[in-house]
Chains A and B, each alone.
Chain A
């Protein structure tokens, strides 16, 4: 009896082992597929989140009050192109994410993983150009605010000079004594601020031109490459070579803007200190 039971058990083992092995292999493959899908989704979500944050920044407009000097205003066309590029990439990455979630085999997942990795530089370039475009626009606004404040302060100082020359002129009654010396001192300080503002103007003018070119180049490159969700592995694609020079150019823009920002902050303090004095006059 024992012998029969042992034989039956052995037979069952022989019969079911391949089935069990197949089930195990299937569940391992399924697990692997799920892991790869998860990794792809995580990376695509990260890229989408970054682009969405950049898009939100680009959505806020900077209103320029002094419109005479066009060189220090970001052209509307460059801003629009930059925004469109970011929006297009968000939409294409969403499609790629859907594609990743609908994969059914590990082989397909591997292929898509390579493609997603190879597109990293492209997504990074599109996000960076959006972020750089935004800071260029913000700096045009900062220069505009410096200019407005400088003009208004010049008006107050000139009025003070007029009152020093003729205290009986309209609105000069309460200026008081020593107005001439005060006006001269304030004028010197404003002239110093204006000199520094000129370098901010040069920096902003240069980066506006450079960034406009960068946005135009990237728009052309991405248009030639086509839809991300339909692109295969782009590791050896010649178009990506131009991204390296774009990266260097964008880095140059941010380096120049660092200098421009430092000077702008210094001018801000100078102008604020002048306004602290001018606002004490009662014209």
Chain B
């Protein structure tokens, strides 16, 4: 009689323990899923992956780069000459006082 009473008293406790275990498992699975999704969304920037995961620059883009670079290097030379002239200019100066 006493043993039967104990069994009926333990039954709800076991249910609660099992519910707890299942809940912990569900939480862990969800966390693992979130981590997996997060890692998967990260872009792989390693050099080996660039070609396969990123858009490779088109030939037109490369040609555009070439002309921009040429113009930029040319402009650097022009501006460098101007800067040197500005630092050294003396000959064009007019002495005003007599």
How distant is the Cα of A268 from the Cα of B76 in the complex, in angstroms? 13
CB-contacts of B24-81 with A (<8 A) = 47-48, 50-52, 54, 56-57, 59, 61-63, 65-66, 68-70, 72-73, 75-77, 79-80
Contact in complex: A261, B96 (CB < 8 Å): no
Query: Does A36 reach chain B (CB closer than 8 Å)?
Result: yes
Chain B: residues with Cβ within 8 Å of the partner, total of 38
Which residues of chain A come closer than 8 Å to B1, judged between CB atoms? Answer: none
CB-contacts of A230-283 with B (<8 A) = 247, 250-251, 253-254, 257-258, 261, 264-265, 268, 271-272, 275, 278-279, 283
Query: Does A174 reach chain B (CB closer than 8 Å)?
Result: no
Give min CB distance, A255 to chain B, whole Å: 9
How distant is the Cα of A155 from the Cα of B53 in the complex, in angstroms? 10
Query: Does B83 reach chain A (CB closer than 8 Å)?
Result: yes
**Selected contact of A46 from candidates B62, B66, B92, CB within 8 Å:** B92
What are some 18 contacts across the A-B interface (CB < 8 A)? Answer: A36-B98, A43-B94, A50-B86, A110-B97, A130-B86, A135-B83, A142-B76, A145-B65, A149-B66, A149-B69, A158-B48, A158-B50, A162-B52, A258-B80, A265-B77, A268-B69, A278-B59, A279-B62
Contact in complex: A138, B65 (CB < 8 Å): no
Contact in complex: A254, B87 (CB < 8 Å): yes
Which residues of chain B come closer than 8 Å to A141, judged between CB atoms? Answer: 72, 75
Q: Given A40-B96, A156-B62, A272-B66, does the pair A264, B73 have CB atoms closer than 8 Å? A: yes
Which residues of chain A come closer than 8 Å to B82, judged between CB atoms? Answer: 54, 57, 131, 134-135
Contact in complex: A148, B86 (CB < 8 Å): no
> A5-13, A22-30, A72-80, A113-121: which one contacts chain B?
A113-121
Give min CB distance, A76 to chain B, whole Å: 18
Q: Given A131-B82, A152-B61, A257-B80, does the pair A159, B51 have CB atoms closer than 8 Å? A: yes
- What number of residue pairs across chains A and B have CB atoms under 8 A from each other? 154
Give min CB distance, B73 to chain A, whole Å: 5
Query: Does B14 reach chain A (CB closer than 8 Å)?
Result: no
How distant is the Cα of A124 from the Cα of B70 in the complex, in angstroms? 31
Contact in complex: B73, A158 (CB < 8 Å): no
Q: Which residues of B contact A (CB under 8 A)?
A: 47-48, 50-52, 54, 56-57, 59, 61-63, 65-66, 68-70, 72-73, 75-77, 79-80, 82-87, 89, 92-98
Contact with B along A90-107 (1 / 0, CB 8 A): 000000000000000000
Q: Given A117-B96, A142-B72, does the pair A149, B65 have CB atoms closer than 8 Å? A: yes
Which residues of chain A come closer than 8 Å to B68, judged between CB atoms? Answer: 145, 148
Contact in complex: A268, B65 (CB < 8 Å): no
Q: 17 extra interchain contacts, Cβ-Cβ under 8 A, other than A117-B96, A141-B75, A156-B56?
A: A50-B86, A57-B79, A110-B98, A117-B97, A124-B89, A127-B86, A134-B79, A138-B75, A138-B76, A142-B69, A149-B69, A154-B47, A155-B54, A161-B51, A162-B51, A254-B83, A268-B69
**Selected contact of A152 from candidates B57, B76, B87, B98, CB within 8 Å:** B57
Contact in complex: A132, B86 (CB < 8 Å): yes
Contact in complex: A251, B87 (CB < 8 Å): yes
How distant is the Cα of A108 from the Cα of B21 in the complex, in angstroms? 101
Which residues of chain A come closer than 8 Å to B73, judged between CB atoms? Answer: 142, 261, 264-265, 268
How distant is the Cα of A169 from the Cα of B52 in the complex, in angstroms? 9
